């Protein structure tokens, strides 16, 4: 399986990095590194994440890392990281398009 990070997910990570960096640049680097590692870890076991309750589709799943939801879609040969959202953020259908 191949992992692809969507533009939305990459943009969310950049925004999180900017926000955290205001207070602690070292922590920001650690959080972002951990999110990327967690996202890339699903390559071996894509179904290890839970089904996202807001969508209830078996191929749209999520894992958690440092207070963030990493939401991804499983397809035949590719896993797309759709979005990365802080757990305090509301998740709408627009967040994964």
| Average pLDDT score over residue span 68-89 | 94
Q: Which residues lie across from 86 on neighbouring strands? A: 68
CATH number at residue 54: 3.30.2310.20
- Contact (CB, 8 A) for 34 and 20: no
Q: Which residues neighbour 28 within 8 Å (Cβ) at sequence distance 6 or greater?
A: 16, 17, 20, 21
User: How many residues in the chain?
Assistant: 97
Q: How confident is the model at residue 96 (pLDDT cuts 50, 70, 90)?
A: low
Please give the Cα distance from 19 to 16 (Å, whole number).
5
Q: Whole domain around residue 68: which residue ranges?
A: 2-96
Considering its fold, how many domains does the chain have in total?
1
Please give the Cα distance from 6 to 82 (Å, whole number).
6
Predicted local confidence at residue 97, as pLDDT: 58
């Amino acid at each position: 399986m191949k992992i692809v990070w969507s533009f939305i997910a990459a943009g969310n990570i950049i925004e999180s990095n900017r926000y955290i960096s205001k207070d602690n640049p070292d922590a920001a680097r650690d959080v972002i590194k951990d999110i990327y590692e967690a996202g890339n870890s699903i390559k071996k076991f894509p179904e290890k994440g839970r089904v996202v309750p807001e969508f209830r589709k078996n191929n749209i799943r999520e894992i958690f890392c440092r207070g963030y939801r990493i939401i991804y879609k499983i397809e035949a040969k590719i896993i797309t990281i759709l979005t990365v959202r802080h757990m305090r953020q509301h998740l709408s259908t627009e967040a994964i398009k």
